[in-house]
């Protein structure tokens, strides 16, 4: 089963990210005139539940364009110098990695519609996994996210 898992920056929350399914709600249809309302983006997740009571579905509004899909791989590195853990890599993350020749790269994970795969800057993401240059995700380090203002120094 394909499980699409996303994260997004919430509009009205102190949480840095919310996780769940992505949903884009379309504005009402306009009969006369121009559509002025934009679609709204949400992360849908299971809400808190009480004992023996049904759990509600929570729709968390997120910043437009802040959603990023989970790639299905994890990086065993520290995030912002914190304790090393198993971190999920999402679209929009800035990752740093080293080649076997010792070169260090810092790239943003982006989706490319033409090649239907994730890219690391100008590198093809899938081709990197098949190359001899490095063995992801063991030498990936997540630096942060482009949405958090983390810069890519080329």
Digit-coded pLDDT (tens) for 25-58? 999 888 888 888 999 999 999 988 888 888 899 9
Q: Are residues 43 and 105 in the same domain?
A: no
Sign of CA dihedral 61, 65, 66, 67: positive
Q: Are residues 81 and 139 in the same domain?
A: yes
Q: Per-residue pLDDT tens for 79-116?
A: 455 566 677 888 888 887 766 677 777 878 877 777 66
**Does 57 map to a domain?**
yes
Q: Are residues 78 and 139 in the same domain?
A: yes
Q: Are residues 26 and 84 in the same domain?
A: no
Q: What percent of the chain has pLDDT over 70?
A: 68
Look at residue 76 in the predicted model and tell me its pLDDT. 61
**Does 135 map to a domain?**
yes
For residues 126 and 117, what is the distance between their CA atoms, to the nearest angstrom? 7
Q: Are residues 74 and 143 in the same domain?
A: yes
Which structural domain, as residue segments, surrounds residue 133? 68-148
**Does 122 map to a domain?**
yes
Q: Closest by alpha carbon to 95, among 121, 113, 70?
A: 121
Number of structural domains the chain divides into? 2
Q: Per-residue pLDDT tens for 59-74?
A: 999 998 889 988 877 7
Residue 119's DSSP bridge partners are: 110, 124
How far from 135 is each of 30, 80, 144, CA to CA, in Å? Answer: 52, 22, 20
* Cα 31 from chain centroid (whole Å): 36
């Amino acid at each position: 089963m394909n499980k699409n898992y996303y994260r997004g920056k919430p509009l009205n929350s102190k949480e840095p990210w919310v996780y769940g399914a992505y949903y884009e709600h379309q504005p009402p249809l306009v009969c006369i005139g121009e559509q002025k309302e934009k679609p709204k983006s949400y992360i849908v997740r299971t809400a808190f539940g009480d004992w023996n009571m049904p759990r509600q579905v929570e729709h968390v509004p997120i910043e437009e364009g802040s959603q990023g899909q989970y790639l299905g791989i994890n990086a065993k590195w520290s995030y912002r110098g914190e304790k090393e853990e198993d971190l999920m890599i999402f679209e929009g993350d800035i990752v740093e990695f080293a080649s076997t020749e010792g070169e260090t790269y810092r790239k943003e994970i982006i989706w490319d519609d033409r090649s239907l795969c994730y890219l690391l800057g100008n590198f093809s993401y899938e081709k990197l996994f098949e190359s001899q240059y490095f063995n992801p995700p063991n030498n990936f380090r997540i630096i942060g996210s482009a949405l958090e203002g983390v810069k890519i120094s080329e």
